[in-house]
Structure 1
Amino acid sequence: MPKAYPYVGPKEIAARASGSVPGTVFSSADDLAAWVQAAETSRGRVTAMFVVDAAGRLRLADRRSEHVACAGGSPVLAAGEITLSIRAGRVVAEGVSNQSTGYCPEPESWPAVSAALAAAGVEPPEGYSTELSFRRCPRCDQINVIKDQLLECAVCGSALPMAWNLGPATEV
């Protein structure tokens, strides 16, 4: 069962994002290819922000936007960054991460990404190319990215919990 991750980032960012247009939904390879071609850089690829919404749909937005805006403020099944290019007329996912400090999705969110990419006509990679784990410090409330398996708050030095603890993720 997939989990739906609530927004856990700063309230000011959510407030700024409220009322903005959510990310574009993609459900066909042709629509996604047109978006990539319009957005791609001189290197022939585009890195974008993505979410998989609660309905399992892939949503993309400019990398400089916020995940909470891309999701329309709603909970997501996954969030992160994706690098796309077009090779031999097909959209290719060159890299996908779960890098979102607004939603902090667990690495276990990958199946939702894989299914959303497949539904949008993109063969998904085997998993996240960059996989992050997040924890909230119970002492100072800071969100931490876990590095080198060190469960220690980067701000106050307190021990971090073994399990994901960023919000009331619910099964959908």
Structure 2
Amino acid sequence: MAAVRPDSGGCRIGSAADFDSWIAERSAAELTEPFTFVVGTDGVLRLAPRRSEHVACAGGDVVLSAGEISFMREADRWAVDEVSNQSTGYCPDVTSWSAAARALDDVGIERPSSFTHEVVFRRCLDCQEHNIVREDDFICVFCGNDLPETWNVDPIV
């Protein structure tokens, strides 16, 4: 992948001080949009500008969670305003919330109790295309076949 270079990953946010430094560098315009996030297999949050690819944010590595996240200032601290698992690079299951929650807790950022917007991803067993399931309609938009009820986006090994 040309877009994934060792130096192209998102900013590693392993502590409150890391987050405070990172957020202080954001412009007012940047703060009006969500950011790209991933949680690596090390459990650490990584953040990048919204239009960054999740796979690039993760440096091409496997992740525990991925999506978009926005922050708001609440009294004297930062909190998560909205967070989703919307990542077409990784297509994470909604159950990846637990990894995102732990990473945010480790940094000390207030957060909701779950994704504020959940995206349901499935891979079609017939044509192998990735789908976003809308309104519980588990039908492949590419070939019309039924999609599995359980998450299955991991590649077949």
Please report the TM-score for the alignment, with normalisation by the length of structure 1.
0.83
Number of matched pairs = 155
Query: CA shift at 1:52, angstroms?
Result: 0.4
5+ long unaligned stretches in structure 1: 1-14
**How far apart, CA to CA, are the structure 2 residues paired with 1:36 and 1:47?**
12
2:24 aligned with 1:37, yes or no?
Answer: yes
Query: CA shift at 1:26, angstroms?
Result: 0.8
Task: Give CA deviations for 1:22-75 in whole Å, capped at 9, x if unaligned.
Answer: 111112223313322322434854410000000100000111110001111111
State the match for 1:157 in structure 2: 144
Q: How does 1:52-67 map to 2 (within 5 A)?
A: 52-67=39-54
User: What SS does the corresponding residue of 2:134 show, helix, strand or coil?
Assistant: coil
5+ long unaligned stretches in structure 2: none
Distance 1:50 1:137, change over 3 A: same
Higher relative contact order (CA 8 A, sep 6+): 1
**How far apart, CA to CA, are the structure 2 residues paired with 1:120 and 1:23?**
16
Aligned with 1:98 (options 61, 80, 85): 85
Query: CA shift at 1:137, angstroms?
Result: 1.4
Query: CA shift at 1:125, angstroms?
Result: 1.1
Please report the TM-score for the alignment, with normalisation by the length of structure 2.
0.90
Amino acid at match of 1:50: F
**How far apart, CA to CA, are the structure 1 residues paired with 2:108 and 2:32?**
17
Task: Give CA deviations for 1:90-147 in whole Å, capped at 9, x if unaligned.
Answer: 1110011000111111111111111100111202211000011111112222210011
Amino acid at match of 1:132: V
Indicate the percent of aligned positions where both proteins have the same amino acid: 43
Q: Is the 8 A contact 1:33 1:90 kept in 2?
A: no
Distance 1:17 1:164, change over 3 A: same
What is the root-mean-square deviation of aligned Cα atoms in Å? 1.8
